[in-house]
A and B are shown apart, each in its own frame.
Chain A
């Protein structure tokens, strides 16, 4: 119920039309990674996925925002089935463990590798979590996603979201290249997202 209401509200307010640009709609373990500029981002990708894909996909959300407050944590845990992670520091291995658990179970994840919301239209530098997960799970598809307009609809620090149509662009999966170092991989992943803008 809550999930249907959320999808309905998202579409009414900001649309969130999906644009498939080289990604198949088959159900398979996937890491969707996207630019991050608004609290709408998680909802937008989640609502844009077809039912079959949405059912096996968990957004990864920051515990310090989505875990706080009754309404937010209700949305995050009950409707979105999100994995909450602690980004206050601590060992990276521990931080990523709940994500590995989902991937081991054959589920898909939505992550925002910038780590926090940026102001710009293009994504900033990516943090290394995406690289770690890509190395640990070589069979998981790496799908770049570009979110168009959410920073206008609900920018950082804004009181309320306003109705501006957003689009969710799903790009072709990026390949793994033997011998590529961390920095090279992260930059390639970042430009895959930027390339969809």
Chain B
């Protein structure tokens, strides 16, 4: 199969799965009792949103690398907007936020487009780290200075730096895998999103022992193990689109599952500390964009570096 044919086969597979989910969801809605109505409605909202997300993802694949970079830059934009909106920033943070939104965010994605790995890997953690306090100091407000600066730095690391490692997979040069590295992006997103869904379902069915009840009451050992195993198997089954052997693909998927889980857990803690349940309401049924990408934030950099270290030239 050519890489193009692989893409069609993969999206075809996703469409079939979603179509089945849609039919089942609609059937459940037809016979749901009053008490279950809300849950089923939320389920169907989620499935509808999945169609939209998959369509956007497919379009970006077909339109090429630039479109993919724009899509992820917009994802960073929306997640940064959600994060900053919920964070109690002050009017005097305007200048450092201008630096974050209008300078660092576009530059990070431009560097991927230019294949400038060196600067890509230090832009936010070094130059962004230094730029934010400079701008905040120039703005002249000393109230909670360190706290305010740290919040913007944290938001940038999470929503710009970490997320940008997903499309950065297209920068990797892997011998024998030339021109196909965008399939690694598909591998990452599919495993991480399937893992979220599988953990949710497995937790609902078998969940007993809560892992961190204060942080996220819905995360259970049974959910993690069941959903994680399913996602790892799926990853192994997708080895043919990657440069990995089946066993290596399973290992990579397991790493993605683990980091994705910790991403969801850590960001739950952030949300709880701010007294909210969701990051926003822009994706119907799911909450905000960051609610869908929290696991990507943590898994993308680790998957990127594992692949780069062990497989890239």
Contact = CB atoms under 8 A, between A and B. Distances in A.
Contact of A159 (B89, B93, B98): B98
B212 to A, nearest CB: 28
B101 A151 contact: no
A158 interface: yes
A149 to B, nearest CB: 7
Nearest to A12: B77
Contact of A149 (B80, B85, B97): B85
Interface string A38-64: 000000000000000000000000000
A168 to B, nearest CB: 14
Q: In the complex, which range does the number of interface residues on chain A fall in? A: 10 to 19
A53 B81 CA distance: 28
B94 interface: yes
B95 interface: yes
A165 B280 contact: yes
A163 interface: yes
Contact of B91 (A155, A159, A163): A155
B82 A165 contact: yes
B81 A163 contact: yes
Given A155-B94, A158-B94, A163 B89 contact: no
A160 B95 CA distance: 8
Contacts, number: 42
Contact of B97 (A119, A162, A165): A162
A159 B101 contact: no
Contacts of B84: 162-164
Contacts of A163: 77, 80-81, 84, 101
A156 B85 CA distance: 18
B31 interface: no
B91 A160 contact: no
A152 interface: yes
A70 B280 CA distance: 36
B102 interface: yes
Given A156-B91, A162-B101, 11 more contacts: A152-B90, A154-B94, A155-B94, A160-B98, A162-B94, A162-B98, A163-B84, A164-B84, A164-B85, A164-B97, A165-B82
25 contacts: A151-B91, A152-B89, A152-B91, A152-B93, A152-B94, A155-B91, A155-B92, A156-B91, A158-B91, A158-B94, A158-B95, A159-B94, A159-B98, A160-B94, A160-B98, A160-B102, A162-B84, A162-B94, A163-B80, A163-B81, A163-B84, A163-B101, A164-B81, A164-B97, A165-B82
Interface of A: 17, 119, 149, 151-152, 154-156, 158-160, 162-165
Interface of B: 77, 80-82, 84-85, 89-95, 97-98, 101-102, 280-281
